[in-house]
A and B are shown apart, each in its own frame.
Chain A
Amino acid sequence: MMELDFSVVLSAEFRSWLIGGLVLSLQLTFITLLLALPLGIAVALMRLSSLAALRWLGFAFVEGIRNIPLLVHMLFWYFGATALLPEAARAWLYEHNAESVCAVIALTFYTAAYMAEDVRSGIRTIPATQTEAARALGLGAAETWRRIVLPQALRASVPPLVSQTVSLWKNTSIATVIGAAELMYQAQRVETASFRGVETFAVATLAYLSVSLIITALSIAYQRRYPVRPA
């Protein structure tokens, strides 16, 4: 059995690499969440639209994105889509952290496709009588959605949306393939430089676990404070 020695991995230099990676992973998660949630809600509404064309577009978005691995999304945006840009735009992008930008684009589409399905099933739990009652009281179609259906549906969607956020947090690790300097990338760097694989990955695993646990704990607290009320 080999001796575990965390002092090397946690020395000042390596520690700053790992913390930098953790910060970028958290930033990727946060920015993606801000972008993916509204996109997911929009796609869910498209899938429930009365217009067949919008419904079909929503279906194509969800199925087209969910059936392709996130890794391929990342490779496509980083190596493929950037090649289509004009020279100047590409140069600008590479000066401005192209890896993280492409990672956020890929993560946003991927997460939004899953969140759209969570929101859609949340909306479907709201009985049609809610809409009918709102319309009978004289609310417009848009107002009924905004003030009656969506607030209830989103509350019902919180638990699946949180577990989707945990998946998003874990999925940021795949950005390492395009060289975004997030936690997994930095862990590999520290491992190569320190020859302390087990210790490095133990620290990284602990970081991933802790954040997953914190997100889950927040969700439980939220559900205690705001329980889903039966409609």
Chain B
Amino acid sequence: MIDLLQNYWLYFLLGQYPEGPLGGLTLTILLSVSALLLASPVGLLLGLARVSQHRALRWPVTALIFVVRGSPLLMVIFWAYFFLPSVTGQQTDQFPTMLIALAIFNGAYLAEIVRAGIQALPRGQMESARALGLSYTTAMRRVILPQALRNSLPSLVNQLVTTIKETSLGYIIGLAEVSFIASQINIQVLTMPVQVYGVLALTYFVLCFGLSRIAYALERRLARRPISSGAPV
């Protein structure tokens, strides 16, 4: 067990880097964070389109969200694998494929959170903002969204936990993230599958449990804050 850790810890953390491409746990974290950074604006835009007054905008986005949320993430990954090359005109690497798939998939889920947040506000908020002469965009940006997204930080951290777990599916398209690297180690060692996969499970646990505790602490802190002072996000 000690030998296993001594021989492979660097490979586990970094993949083949610096001799080869970056991988391992670092790639998992890098992919999760960038996927969430990309998914947040996607989710915001899709969520706004979901409550738009224009049917031409609302209907196709509603359909897209419905299809994405009804399909397994793996299916979205395969679609990205097939469609990206036809859009960009060249073979796409696993990292951008995963990144786009995760951004669309999580964007669809975040959009529903944004929509629910907006629709939970009393209609009077939008009506009075418009009555005071604000345009729809300004009212959305200055009045509705700050309130709708006020408590979104804990859900974003929770979404990061979900995203970290989802990056493990990169294994299936051969992305060298930490699950893939662990399987490579398992193939090389051959005799210690329980230990290899045990360490992999423990790694995810420490990362995700730690983050979900942070989200929980944030939630409690926000819950203590009075609503009146909470306009800016």
Task: Evaluate contact between A67 and B209: CB separation under 8 angstroms.
Answer: yes
Q: How many residues of A contact B (CB 8 A)?
A: 34
User: Of A64, A84, A177, A212, which one neighbours B205 at CB under 8 angstroms?
Assistant: A64
User: Of B72, B193, B197, which one neighbours A171 at CB under 8 angstroms?
Assistant: B72
User: Of A67, A72, A173, A213, which one neighbours B74 at CB under 8 angstroms?
Assistant: A173
- Please, which residues of chain B bring their CB within 8 A of the CB of A212? 70-71
- A205-B75, A208-B75 as given contacts; A71 in contact with B194, CB under 8 Å: no
Question: A170 contacts the other chain (Cβ, under 8 Å)?
Answer: yes
Question: A190 contacts the other chain (Cβ, under 8 Å)?
Answer: no
Which chain B residues numbered 131 to 168 have a C-beta less than 8 Å away from chain A? 161, 164-166, 168
Question: A68 contacts the other chain (Cβ, under 8 Å)?
Answer: yes
Q: How many residues of B contact A (CB 8 A)?
A: 35
Overall SS of chain B's interface: helix
User: Of B182, B194, B204, B207, which one neighbours A83 at CB under 8 angstroms?
Assistant: B194
- Please, which residues of chain A bring their CB within 8 A of the CB of B186? 79
- Please, which residues of chain B bring their CB within 8 A of the CB of A66? 208
Question: B233 contacts the other chain (Cβ, under 8 Å)?
Answer: no
Task: Evaluate contact between A67 and B172: CB separation under 8 angstroms.
Answer: no
Question: B95 contacts the other chain (Cβ, under 8 Å)?
Answer: no
Task: Evaluate contact between B204 and A176: CB separation under 8 angstroms.
Answer: no
Chain A 39-72 per-residue mask, 1 if CB under 8 angstroms from chain B, else 0 = 0000000000000000000000001101111111
- A173-B74, A197-B82, A209-B71 as given contacts; A71 in contact with B169, CB under 8 Å: yes
Minimal Cβ-Cβ distance residue in B for A171: B72
Task: Evaluate contact between B208 and A170: CB separation under 8 angstroms.
Answer: no
- A177-B172, A212-B70, A213-B70 as given contacts; A68 in contact with B208, CB under 8 Å: yes
* Known pairs A171-B72, A174-B74 / 17 extra A-B pairs, C-beta < 8 Å: A64-B205, A67-B209, A68-B208, A69-B164, A69-B179, A71-B168, A76-B198, A83-B194, A84-B194, A170-B70, A170-B71, A173-B72, A176-B172, A201-B75, A208-B75, A209-B71, A213-B70
Instruction: Supply 22 A–B pairs (Cβ within 8 Å), ascending by A.
Output: A63-B209, A67-B165, A67-B204, A67-B212, A69-B169, A71-B168, A71-B169, A71-B171, A75-B200, A76-B198, A79-B193, A80-B193, A81-B194, A83-B194, A177-B171, A177-B172, A197-B78, A197-B82, A198-B82, A201-B75, A201-B82, A209-B70
Interface residues of B (CB under 8 A from A): 67, 70-75, 78-79, 82, 161, 164-166, 168-169, 171-172, 179, 182-183, 186, 193-194, 196-198, 200-201, 204-205, 207-209, 212
